[in-house]
């Protein structure tokens, strides 16, 4: 395997992101650097509900099973679109970036990666773009369109070329485990992509035939109405 290619992860600190990283390590997939963004774009309305608490409890139990896996040293930055972080990228000179759960990145950040940025979107992108895609599909009872999309990042929000889409098995649709299950799908796809990339094999992608509807944060008042099916 060719080790010349430098790959970094741009993410935020959370249980499901840690689970994602540790499952890659189990497959002997490592990032040269892990960068965490510490500030968030916050909605003007309440979003935290019983769902987050149930998800947190479930993911914590899963993370305990992976406690023997140590994470690489991570570097924190307040805002990935800042000049400070851009200067780090210019010094770091990574070839490829994997993005999972950050704010929308500006063109300067995108251009810092010779071979581009690949995004983890926990949703079926031609139906649901933006935030809380799994929950919005669940709200609409559109259970067949819950899953994960891996795509290249361009200047639009979730508009880049698609590498792979994977739908969640209908038998695994439980609102408390959606975030975990869609993150596990992401880990499996990303591991395959990184192996191909390190071996200098072609990563195929295709343009989106249609753009899914954009959704923002799901408000607490809506989340509170959701129940397990």
Average pLDDT, 10 consecutive residues per value, the chain (229 residues): 80 97 96 96 95 97 95 91 96 96 96 97 97 97 96 94 94 90 98 96 95 97 89
CA angle 30, 36, 39 (to 5 degrees): 165
Question: Distance between CA atoms of 58 and 177, rounded to whole angstroms?
Answer: 7
The neighbour count for residue 13, using CB atoms within 10 Å, is 13
Say what the alpha-carbon torsion angle 77, 82, 86, 88 is, to the nearest 10 degrees.
-30
Taking only Cα atoms into account, the Rg of the chain, rounded to an integer number of angstroms, comes to 17
DSSP character at residue 206: B
Q: Tokens for 28, please give them.
A: 């002997």
Q: Tokens for 79, please give them.
A: 């805002």
Q: What is the pLDDT of residue 229?
A: 65
- Estimate to the nearest angstrom the gap between the alpha carbon of 223 and the chain centroid: 21
Q: What is the pLDDT of residue 1?
A: 43
Question: Distance between CA atoms of 138 and 228, rounded to whole angstroms?
Answer: 9
Q: Report which secondary-structure segment, H or E, holds 222.
A: helix 220-223
Half-sphere exposure of 138 (CA within 13 A, CB side): 27
């Amino acid at each position: 395997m060719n080790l010349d290619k430098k790959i970094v992860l741009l993410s935020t600190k959370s249980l499901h992101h840690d689970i994602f990283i540790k499952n890659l390590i189990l497959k002997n997939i490592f990032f040269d650097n892990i960068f965490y963004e510490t500030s968030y774009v916050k909605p003007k309305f309440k979003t935290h509900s019983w769902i987050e608490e149930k998800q947190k409890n479930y993911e914590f139990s899963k993370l305990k099973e992976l406690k023997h896996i140590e994470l690489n040293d991570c570097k924190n930055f307040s805002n990935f679109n800042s000049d400070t972080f851009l200067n780090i990228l210019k010094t770091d000179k990574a070839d490829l970036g994997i993005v999972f759960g950050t704010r929308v990145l500006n063109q300067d950040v995108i251009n810092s990666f010779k071979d581009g940025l690949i995004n983890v979107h926990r949703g079926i992108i031609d139906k649901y773009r933006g935030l809380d895609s799994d929950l919005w599909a669940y709200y609409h009872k559109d259970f067949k369109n819950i899953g994960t999309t891996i795509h290249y990042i361009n200047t639009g929000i979730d508009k880049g070329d698609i590498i792979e889409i994977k739908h969640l098995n209908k038998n695994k649709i439980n609102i408390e485990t959606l975030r975990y299950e869609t993150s596990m799908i992401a880990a499996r796809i990303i591991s395959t992509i990184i192996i191909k990339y390190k071996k200098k094999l072609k990563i195929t992608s295709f343009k989106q035939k249609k753009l899914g509807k954009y959704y923002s944060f799901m408000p607490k008042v809506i989340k509170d109405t959701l129940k397990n099916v």
